[in-house]
Amino acid sequence: MSFSDLKKKSNLGSLTNKLVKEVEKMTKTGGGDDRLWKPQLDKTGNGYAVIRFLPAPDGEDLPWAKLYSHAFQGPGGWFIENSLTTLGQKDPVSEYNSQLWNSGLESDKDVARKQKRKLSYYSNIYVVKDPVNPDNEGKVFLFKFGKKIFDKITAAMQPEFEDEEPINPFDFWQGANFKLKIKKVAGYWNYDSSEFARLQALLDDDDAMEAIWKKEYSLTSLVAPDQFKTYEELKTRLDYVLGMKGTPKFQDQETVEEEEQFRRENRGAAAPMPESMRSELDSLSEGRDFNSSDTTPSSTEEEDNTLSYFQRLADA
């Protein structure tokens, strides 16, 4: 699809059908990457930035990619891995959580809750304003976010009140900048105050926006099969983390060295989380629901039924 074609489709309805189909699928069914933009807190302990969600990259249909992952600690260390359920395949953690849940013991259910999969989204963004790191402004990055922000995106497509204009947040011309506001609530980053600004074109120069579009990163590659370990590899790592004796350890060498260093420094005490893992958990925390009660550990409780309002937009 050419840039001119993208502009012709610059309205809510023309792209909604594709989004509806993808959300229908959804309802049925790493750190150290310089492509990723991560917001940071200022000296007051709050965070603020202005970003613009960008259209789907050239040759791809959707402006986001959806990824499930697990992040938890056991007797043998940390388990932080992509979940094969993203690909619609069996995953050893999900299977183990189901066994725990079905045991009938409340203690097993508590463990399953702590080990449940987390939902993350990836989109291309253009950084309009980044007070903490102004060098990021005017550049294209990948942005990893959770259900809270995804809900705000979908809500922008179907406003709550009749006097509010629906927008496609991923549109160059008929979209809007997103004001990301972060506060710490109970020790975790909270995004409730974040909001979309008024509808406006990102820039008044089509050539400049085309150049931005061409700088986008592939989203489909983020959830390609080669981004996941095999079932056997994940099972081996899970068994080790769960402390099953005789199970060989499966983890990248950098993490192995970090864990060994922490053991030496702490003389057998419970080691703190390796820094490479800490950033990953920070990015996952936005997708967690710490106050809600779960129904089953393998359910998609992180998702609301967004299909209904996408469909209403398509029928409007």
Render pLDDT for 126-183 as a digit per residue (tens, 0 to 9). 999 999 999 999 999 999 999 999 999 999 988 888 888 899 999 999 999 999 999 9
Q: For position 23, what pLDDT does the model report?
A: 60
Span 91-97, average pLDDT: 97
Span 286-307, average pLDDT: 38
Residue 161: partners with Cβ closer than 8 Å, 6 or more residues away: none
Residue 12: partners with Cβ closer than 8 Å, 6 or more residues away: 157, 166, 167, 168, 174, 313
Query: Which domains does the chain show, CATH number per domain?
Result: 3-315 (3.90.198.10)
As given in the structure block, the two tokens for residue 208 are: 């400049």
As a whole number of angstroms, the distance between CA 220 and CA 67 comes to 11
The sign of the dihedral angle between the CA atoms of 297, 303, 307, 312 is positive
Integer Rg of the chain from CA: 21
Do β-strands 77-82 and 118-129 pair in parallel, antiparallel, or remain unpaired?
unpaired
Q: For position 250, what pLDDT does the model report?
A: 54
As given in the structure block, the two tokens for residue 209 are: 């926006």
Nearest to 47 by CA among 185, 180, 137: 180
Q: For position 20, what pLDDT does the model report?
A: 59
Q: Is the pLDDT of residue 242 over 50?
A: yes
List pLDDT tens digits, range 49-64: 999 999 999 999 999 9
Residue 300's pLDDT band (cuts 50, 70, 90): very low
As a whole number of angstroms, the distance between CA 97 and CA 70 comes to 11
b vs e for 153-185, b when ≥16 Cβ sit within 10 Å of the residue's Cβ? bbbbbbeeeeeeebbbbbbbbbbbbbbbbbeee
Span 62-85, average pLDDT: 96
SS3 250: coil
Residue 1's pLDDT band (cuts 50, 70, 90): confident
Residue 3's pLDDT band (cuts 50, 70, 90): confident
Question: Torsion angle, CA of 32/33/38/44, rounded to 10 degrees?
Answer: 30
Helices (H), the chain: 3-8, 12-28, 92-101, 106-114, 147-157, 206-214, 231-241, 253-266, 275-285, 307-315
Give me the chain's average pLDDT, please. 81
Span 229-250, average pLDDT: 84
Q: What percent of the chain has pLDDT over 90?
A: 62
180 phi and psi angles, rounded to 5 deg: -85, 120
Residue 249's pLDDT band (cuts 50, 70, 90): low
Q: For position 283, what pLDDT does the model report?
A: 47
Q: For position 8, what pLDDT does the model report?
A: 77
Structural contact between residues 190 and 184, judged by C-beta atoms closer than 8 angstroms: yes
List pLDDT tens digits, range 176-217: 999 999 999 988 999 999 999 999 999 999 999 999 999 999
Q: For position 48, what pLDDT does the model report?
A: 97
Q: For position 24, what pLDDT does the model report?
A: 54
Nearest to 212 by CA among 300, 156, 107, 128: 128
- Residue 141 one-letter amino acid: F
Length of the chain: 316
List pLDDT tens digits, range 253-293: 555 554 555 444 444 444 445 444 444 444 444 444 322 33
Nearest to 219 by CA among 128, 141, 130: 141
- Residue 226: count other Cβ atoms within 10 Å of its Cβ: 5
Span 77-96, average pLDDT: 97
Residue 172: partners with Cβ closer than 8 Å, 6 or more residues away: 6, 7, 10, 54, 55, 201, 202, 209, 213
